[in-house]
Amino acid sequence: MSGGGLHVRILGSDALARKFNAAAGKAQQAADAGAYNVGLVILRKAVRNAPKKWGVLRGSGHVTHPQGGSCTVGFGGPAAAYAWVQHERMDFKHTEGGPKYLERAVNEVRPRAGDIFLRIAKSVLLDGKPPPPFSGAPSDPFSGATKALGRQGKARAKKAKRAR
């Protein structure tokens, strides 16, 4: 061996690299799908917990599409001006729903979040099933019924103000 060193060629290394890349892609799909499904569960609970007068706040709930195994659950759109106030003010009296609507939902789902992730990951990685579709909740608080509810709520508020 003069000056050349040792050269090793592994047969099938290209195929192995493709399999690793495919597995990494499936793992990312599984993580994204798990995050989105946890977000949906949180959103369903948070919507039920949220105060309801005309439904604008409840209708503004949304889950962002996942990226990197995480997503955001929130409220806003036409309810943005008062969503945070309704969430934080403990002294407000509501006939339906109440404060800390999102925080309570997160705390309720937290113990089950790992199980949801695990079930989705197992389905995608071990059983070879495609991840669930990323649909089921608005990703934009200004979309869908929320926009109409916002207009209706504003119209009712104006009418009530004029009646006083």
Q: Across the chain, what does the average pLDDT equal?
A: 81
Q: Is 62 exposed, middle or buried (0-12, 13-18, 19+ CB in 10 A)?
A: buried
Residue 39 structure tokens: 């977000």
What share of the chain has pLDDT > 70, as a percent?
A: 79
Least confident of 26-30, 45-49, 133-137: 133-137
| pTM of the full structure | 0.73
**110 has a pLDDT exceeding 90:** yes
Phi-psi region of 135 (alpha: psi -120 to 50; beta: other; left: phi over 0): beta
**41 has a pLDDT exceeding 60:** yes
pLDDT for 46-101, tens place per residue?
999 999 887 889 889 999 988 888 899 999 888 888 888 999 999 998 888 899 99
Question: Per-residue pLDDT averaged across 27-52, rounded?
Answer: 90
What residue segments make up the domains of the chain, in order of their start? 23-163
Q: Give residue 100's pLDDT.
A: 95
Residue 30 structure tokens: 């599984």
Q: Give residue 126's pLDDT.
A: 82
What share of the chain has pLDDT > 90, as a percent?
A: 24
What is the C-alpha separation between 24 and 10, in angstroms, rounded?
A: 21
Residue 28 structure tokens: 């990312």
Q: Which residues in 110-148 are b (16+ Cβ under 10 Å) and which e?
A: eeebeebbeebbebbeeeeeebbebeebbeebeeeebbe
**161 has a pLDDT exceeding 90:** no
- 57, 63, 64, 65: CA torsion to nearest 10: -150
Q: Give residue 102's pLDDT.
A: 93
